[in-house]
Structure 1
Amino acid sequence: MSAPINPSVLLSRVSATVALATAALAGTIVAPGLAQQASASPVSIRALKIATAKQGSPYRWGATGPYSFDCSGLTSYAFRKAGHRLPRTAAAQYYRTRHIPAGARRPGDLVFFHYGGYVYHVGVYAGHNKILHAPKTGTRVRLERIWTRHVWYGRVR
C-alpha cells in the first residue's frame, strides 16, 4: 500500500506541469530576461516582443514606425500593437506610468533617462540591465546595456 498523497504537493506538481506545458507550447522568446515571470504584465511582455522584432530598424527623429523610430516612437508603437496606448513623448510616457524602484523592474517596464527632472530618452527594459531602444540619429533599434544610473523606471498600468 502506498502512502497518501498530500493535496498541496499534488497541486504544486500539477501547476508545475501546466506551466511547463504552456511554456513549451508558447515557443521560444528571443529577448534576454524574458524568463516566465508570473507577475509581469502580459501587455508589457507583448510590447517587449514587438520591440525586439524591430531590432535593426533605423532611427529617425519623430518616427513612430513601423519601419523607423525615435525612442518614444518605438515604445508607443510597441505598446499600441500590444493593446495599450501611450502618449507620444518620453516625458509624457513617464507621467503615464506607475513609477517603480530599480529593484522592482521587470522585462517590459519602461526605462526613462533623465537629467535632473527632465526626461530625455526612453527604452523598454529587456532584463539583465539591458534595454531595447532607438538611440539617436545614425543608429538602429538595438539591445544595449543601461549605461548610466540616471534612470527612472515606469510600469505601464
Structure 2
Amino acid sequence: SQSLEVRVPLLDHEMVEFAARIPSTLKIRGGVGKWIFIQGLKGLVPDEVFHRPKQGFAIPLAPWFLGPLSGRARALTASSSRIAAYVDVGAVRRLVREHLSGRRDHSAMLWRLLVLDTWLAHHRRPGALGRPPEVDGFLRREPEFYTGPGPTVGVGA
C-alpha cells in the first residue's frame, strides 16, 4: 500500500524523546494544546492555520478505482489472483462490477482487497499458502460482513 505520512518527522525517536522531556506547562497553556509547537512555528506558518478546526486527509479512493486503479481492481477478480485463496472471487467480481458501473461505491472494500493483494505479493511465495479454514466464505455473509458503502466492516457471526 502507498500513502503520504506527514507526521513522520514528529515521530522520529529523537524528536519523541525530546518532546517527552518538555515540561507540561509548555505543552498546554491557556487551554491551548501543543503550545510550544505553535510558538515555534509562528512566523513560518500563517496564523489562520493555528485556528482552523482539525481536518482529516481523505484519499479519493472512489475515483481512483474508476480511473487509474480500475485495472488493479479488475485484476483482483481473476481466479488466479493472489487473494483468490482467501476470498470469494465471485463476490469480488460483483463488488468490482458494481463499483465500475457506478451503481455502488465499494472503494473502501476494494482498497482493503488491494492492500491484501499487495501484502501477499511482498510477503508470500506463490502457492505457499493454502486456504485457511477460518476465512472460508470470506465476503459471502454480506449482511454481517460488509454493510458498505462506508467503512463499517466486521466479521460475521
Report if TM-score (shorter chain) is over 0.5.
no
Considering Cα pairs closer than 8 Å and 6+ residues apart, tell me whether 1 or 2 has the greater RCO: 1
Q: Shorter-normalised TM-score: what interval?
A: under 0.3
Q: Which one has a larger percent helix, Structure 1 or Structure 2?
A: 2
> Which protein is bigger by CA-based radius of gyration?
2
Instruction: With the length of structure 1 as denominator, give the TM-score of the two structures.
Output: 0.25
Instruction: With the length of structure 2 as denominator, give the TM-score of the two structures.
Output: 0.25
